[in-house]
Amino acid sequence: MERRVAEQLRSALSPLGLEVHAFKVGWYNAVLQPGFHLPYPDDTLAFVVLSTPSMFDKALKPFVKKERLRIIRDPVDQCVAHHLSRVKEKFPDQRVDVMFDYEMLPSRKPKFLAQTAAHVAGAAYYYQRKDVKLDPWGKKKIFGVCIHPKYGGWFAIRGLLLFPDIQVPFLEQPAPVDCVSTEKKRIELLEQFNFHWQDCRYRDIIEVKERYSEEQKAYFATPPAERFRLLGLSQEAQRITFH
């Protein structure tokens, strides 16, 4: 069952520059405090959805061109939500729950921890302070970051697709690729991500197969309120969005 669902998801989402990786809810819940658990049985089938560098041209720009005035919030978020809702339609006999990376619970906690989901699904390795033996940071707060074996840091985790009616007790967990394997490189990665993230050097901590285009880099480096202009959206759309 998992294989068939995965094939259907990939056939729909891969042409849009979106990747999906399967996991069991229990793998995710096992590494987190109860307050962050997903409220499903451990054997529930789920997929983490990533956007790759090609999503900008394959999905976002065509979506913006087609929708224009109907874009009333962040264009990337709305684009991903549109395509994931269309994917749900491919499973009329299944319940499919969708969670997005920007959604919050009433407690102000995120609905899910995106980097943890990517790690347990084997999609990208989540490098954290605990992965460095000789910690050089003292009392500084150090955030972790996921690195994809093909795209380095040039990707984003966009959401989860959960199939509550599908239980997969025999699904085998793939280990994420440890592509930043030396102590020196891990320190360099966390230093760059925490203290110099704007220059994007952390994204190239490994040799990547593909990275964001210059147009895409400029888009994400632009304050959200000004991104509409870069996509050629009208002033009317901007007034609707930021009213």
- Give tens-digit pLDDT for 7-49: 999 999 999 999 999 999 999 999 999 999 999 999 999 999 9
Q: How far is CA 50 from the centre of its chain?
A: 4
Task: Please give the pLDDT value at position 125.
Answer: 98
Task: Please give the pLDDT value at position 71.
Answer: 67
Q: How far is CA 41 from the centre of its chain?
A: 23
DSSP string covering 20-69, please?
EEEEEHHHHHHTS-GGG--SS-TTEEEEEEEE-TTHIIIIIHHHHHHHGG
Task: Please give the pLDDT value at position 1.
Answer: 81
Task: Please give the pLDDT value at position 28.
Answer: 98
Task: Please give the pLDDT value at position 189.
Answer: 98
Segments of the chain with pLDDT less than 70: 69, 71, 233-243
Mean pLDDT value across the chain: 92
Task: Please give the pLDDT value at position 239.
Answer: 39
Closest CA to 84 of 47, 111, 112, 115: 47
Q: In Å, what is the CA distance from 43 to each residue of 61, 105, 164, 173, 237?
A: 37, 23, 9, 12, 43
CB 78 within 8 A of CB 72: yes
The reply to whether the predicted model has a pTM over 0.75 is: yes
Task: Please give the pLDDT value at position 233.
Answer: 63
